[in-house]
Structure 1
Amino acid sequence: MSWLNSVRNALPFVAKKATPDNLWHKCKGCGQMVFTKELEENLYVCPRCDHHERIGPRQRFAQLFDDGGYVQLAAPRVPEDPLKFRDSKRYVDRIKAARTATDEPDALLNARGTIAGNKVVVGVQDFAFMGGSMGLAVGEAFVCGVRAAIEDRAPYIIFTAAGGARMQEGILSLMQMPRATVAIQMLHDAGLPYVVVLTDPTTGGVTASYAMLGDVQIAEPNALIGFAGQRVIENTIREKLPEGFQRAEYLLDHGMLDMVVHRKDLRDTLASVTAYLCGERRAA
């Protein structure tokens, strides 16, 4: 036995410490590695480039409601596979996989709570659940959120994030567009505000319906907002689109949004907007 092996055998064995997989996060904006704890404390906004990461309903609720307290509304029950759809996988299998990955029933959740002491009902779409796609469950959840707001005599605030209608439900998914429009009219008939916050990305049938019907239209910085994709539009009109086309700041400059608000200021902005709108409607 060599002297090196003798030294190795004499040293105490120390197990290699495993590094948690979620200790660091790679920013999708600048590509830099960010300490996950630092990202969470900064509301999931990159402290280096200010890129707003996509977040789910529970993180959003915790950021918005007073003291992070809220009551989640029960998810509505709808037919899960009305068309018995199958592509490379069965639709029911895709739903099961999405539920396992997100631990959510579908792509839209509602919750009751208060913002700065004022009652609100907030709906949040989860892009992680099949791209936030709009199907029967999302449409019914939207209507339930509006009904809850009417019952509470409170504003309804929706955070949109979607790739559009859910193709596996065909025409039934497209029917959620007029249903949502009727629900918004019910809210207006009750004299209550409807506020939309568009997050990255909001596209397709969601943009063509309830995402663009708010009394006030707000967006997070650099959010992608549009109907058809940029490449599809360019191939159709045979022209190069302007720099930043379909981004929140471009839409603000062209009158399609009322404001673009940083996530750290969003709670205070919503408190001011809803308080003002509720005051105006009470006076009317």
Structure 2
Amino acid sequence: MNWISNYVRPRINSIFSRRETPENLWSKCDNCGTMLFHRELSENLNVCTSCGHHMAISPRARFNALFDGGIFTEVSVPEPVSDPLHFRDQKKYPDRMREARKKTAEHEAMLVGEGEIGRTRIVAAAQDFSFMGGSMGMYVGNAIIAAAERAVQKKCPLVLFSAAGGARMQEGILSLMQMPRTTVAVQMLKEAGLPYIVVLTHPTTGGVTASYAMLGDVHIAEPNALICFAGPRVIEQTIREKLPDGFQRAEYLLDHGMLDRVTPRTKMREELITITRMLMGLPPAVAGDLPAPGKVADAEAPQAAAPEAAKAEDPEPKKAAKAKAAEKKAQDKS
């Protein structure tokens, strides 16, 4: 046995060998091709630090950046029938659902949360495009209705982040029925006099655009987001003409009066705080990133209790009371 060849050399090679870099440490910008470090990209809310391109972001990550201190409570959504049509194409519908849930670690294509932004209570709903293209199925309809009912119950605004490819074909007509259902949910908010703010993200298309995504009191879009019913490729093939540059993008719609604002994702929180407080008749919020409401309450409670505790522990009042009682007793004896 050669001790140097069999033990020493492999040991030295293992110590000085180059370690492989994990694949998830770097992401490539789809627009400019810049390699971005994962922490830097996450801190910038998945917006390219080189060209400002807005990449996809999950609803949970969006809520963590939106709510004060990243604290929010999920609103429960009624569970619909899992496979009402027993639909099957290349795969069964339940199998596609299992794959989507495993891929995104989310139950469905929409997340509903409740919390505070700038000390203003809101209900927020966000679609996840990575979950079967954010398609609008029965669960999404139930989620919007649950969000609207919660907002009416709490008398607070509803903020919805849309990102969808349209209706979910595996649910057929039941998916299309979510268009009137969600329209009724939006009407509930209007009758209660509560603001409904829609943030359109890339992409927002199909039946979603034809229903709840374009019924807001205020419409805000992220830069260069595709917002349409039928896509530009379908329109070009139908009319056999070349469309203008930037057609159906957020900036184009803003210029033609379809949107109120185009706001970068990194400034969206401050924009929503300003708009919600304005529509609710509240004074402007304190500038800057406010701490979580729970932390503020915990910090203020000991300060409020401190004077009472000091009075209880102060021995001087007790001594004065005893001296006064002894003096009165001596006077009675005399």
TM range (shorter): over 0.9
Partner of residue 193, structure 1: 195
Aligned match of 1:40: 42
Deviation at 1:119, TM superposition (A): 0.5
Which residue of structure 1 lines up, in the alignment, with residue 320 of structure 2? none
In structure 2, the residue matched to 1:223 is: 225
Q: 5+ residue gaps in structure 1?
A: none
Counterparts of 2:149 and 2:9, CA distance in 1:
71
CA deviations on 1:184-229 (whole Å, 9 max, x unpaired) are: 0011111101000000000000001000010000000011111111
Residue aligning to 2:269: 267
Q: Deviations over 1:150-176 (max 9, x none)?
A: 111000000000000000000000000
Residue 237 of structure 1 deviates from its aligned partner by 1.5
**2:286: which partner in 1?**
none
Q: 2-side partners of 1:21 and 1:168: how far apart?
A: 34
Of 47, 65, 69, the residue aligned with 1:63 is: 65
Aligned to 1:84: 86
Instruction: Tell whether the 8 Å contact from 2:45 to 2:57 is kept in structure 1 after alignment.
Output: no
Equivalent position of 1:154 in the other structure: 156
Supply the distance in 1 between the matched residues of 2:213 and 2:9 (Cα, whole angstroms). Answer: 66
Measured after TM superposition, the shift of residue 131 of structure 1 is 0.3
Displacement of 1:75 after TM fit?
3.2
SS in 1 for 2:163: strand
Counterpart contact for 1:75–1:109, Cα < 8 Å:
no
Runs of 4+ in 1 over 3 A off after TM superposition: 7-13
Provide the residue aligned with 2:304 in structure 1: none
Letter matched to residue 240 of structure 1: K
Number of the residue aligned with 2:169 = 167
More helix by share: 2
Q: 1:49 to 1:10 in 2, by over 3 A?
A: closer
| Matched residue, 2:97 | 95
Q: What is the distance in 2 between the residues matched to 1:125 and 1:73? A: 14
8 Å CA contact 2:76, 2:146 repeated in 1: no
Q: Could you tell me which residue of structure 2 aligns to residue 113 of structure 1?
A: 115
**Letter aligned with residue 162 of structure 2:** T
1:85 Cα deviation from its structure 2 partner: 0.2
The higher radius of gyration belongs to: 2
Alpha-carbon distance between aligned partners in 1 of 2:261 and 2:222, rounded to the nearest angstrom: 9
Alignment map for 1:4-15 (pairs within 5 Å)? 11=12, 13-14=14-15, 15=17
Structure 1 residues 249 and 16 mapped into 2: Cα distance closer, same or farther (>3 Å)?
same
Q: 1:12 to 1:100 in 2, by over 3 A?
A: closer
1:55-112: CA deviation from partner (whole Å, max 9, x where unpaired): 1111010110011111011232110110000000000100011011111111011000
> What corresponds to 1:178 in structure 2?
180
Select which of 247, 255, 258 maps to 2:257: 255
Cα drift, residue 32 of structure 1: 1.5
Are the structure 2 counterparts of residues 181 and 16 from structure 1 closer, same or farther at C-alpha, using a change threshold of 3 Å? Answer: same
Residues matched between the structures, number: 279
Counterpart code for 2:135:
S
Q: Distance in 1 between matches of 2:108 and 2:36?
A: 29
Select the residue among 15, 20, 23 that pairs with 1:21: 23
Q: 1:75, 1:105 within 8 Å by CA — same for their partners in 2?
A: no
Q: How far off is 1:20 after superposition? A: 1.5
Q: Distance in 1 between matches of 2:13 and 2:100?
A: 46
1:142 to 129, 141, 144: 144
Partner of 2:331: none
Residue 241 (str. 1) matches residue 246 (str. 2): no
Alignment RMSD (CA, Å): 2.0
**TM-score normalized with structure 2 length:** 0.80
1:238 offset after TM fit, Å? 1.8
**How many Å separate the matches in 2 of 1:28 and 1:9?**
42
> Counterpart of 2:46 in structure 1: which amino acid?
Y
Displacement of 1:13 in angstroms is: 3.5
Q: Distance in 2 between matches of 1:150 and 1:211?
A: 19
Letter in 2 for 1:94: R
Change (3 A) 1:9 1:66: closer
Aligned to 1:209: 211
Deviation at 1:12, TM superposition (A): 5.5
State the identity as a percent. 59
In 2, the alpha carbon distance for the partners of 1:265 and 1:11 equals 52
**In structure 2, how many angstroms separate the alpha carbons of the residues matched to 1:37 and 1:163?**
29
Taking the aligned partners of 1:132 and 1:243, their CA distance within structure 2 comes to: 26
The two structures have a TM-score, normalised by structure 1, of 0.94
